[in-house]
Amino acid sequence: MLPILKKEFNSFFASPIAYLVIGVFLLANGLFLWVFKDGFNILNAGFADLNTFFQITPWFFLFLIPAITMKSFAEEFNTGTIEILKTRPIGLWNIVLGKFLASLLLVFIAILPTVAYVYTIYQLATPLGNIDTGSIIGSYIGVFLLGAVFTAIGLFTSTLARNQIVAFILGVIVIFCAFYGLDALGNLVDSSGLSIKKIGINEHFKSISRGVIDTRDLIYFISATYFFLFITKTQLSNE
Q: Is the peptide bond before 127 cis (omega within 30 degrees of 0)?
A: yes
Read off the pLDDT of each residue in 34-40 and give the average, rounded to a whole number.
80
pLDDT of residue 207: 84
Read off the pLDDT of each residue in 209-238 and give the average, rounded to a whole number.
89
All residues at 6 or more sequence positions from 59 whose CB lies less than 8 Å from its CB, including other chains: none
Read off the pLDDT of each residue in 94-107 and give the average, rounded to a whole number.
94
- Measured at the CA of 125, the angle between CA 144 and CA 45, to 5 degrees, comes to 75
**DSSP, res 112:** G
Q: Is the pLDDT of residue 15 over 80?
A: yes
Q: Is the pLDDT of residue 192 over 80?
A: no
Average pLDDT, the chain: 86
* Separation CA 66–CA 17 (nearest Å): 11
User: How many domains is the chain built from?
Assistant: 1
What's the domain range around 233?
A: 2-238
pLDDT of residue 42: 79
pLDDT, greater one: 126 or 164: 164
Of 15-24, 38-47, 148-157, 186-195, minimum mean pLDDT range: 186-195
pLDDT of residue 193: 46
pLDDT of residue 146: 94
Read off the pLDDT of each residue in 6-17 and give the average, rounded to a whole number.
87
Q: Is the pLDDT of residue 212 over 90?
A: no
* Separation CA 72–CA 93 (nearest Å): 14
* Separation CA 161–CA 239 (nearest Å): 12
Which amino acid, one-letter code, is at 231?
I
Q: Is the pLDDT of residue 46 over 90?
A: no
Number of Cβ within 10 Å of residue 232's Cβ equals 28
**186 close to 197: Cβ distance less than 8 angstroms:** yes
H-helix or E-strand containing 18? helix 17-30
- Measured at the CA of 50, the angle between CA 47 and CA 51, to 5 degrees, comes to 95
pLDDT of residue 78: 84
In this prediction the pTM is 0.91
Distance from chain centroid for Cα 49: 22
Of 132-141, 155-164, 224-233, minimum mean pLDDT range: 132-141
pLDDT, greater one: 125 or 142: 142
Q: Is the pLDDT of residue 134 over 90?
A: no
pLDDT of residue 113: 93
**15 close to 106: Cβ distance less than 8 angstroms:** no
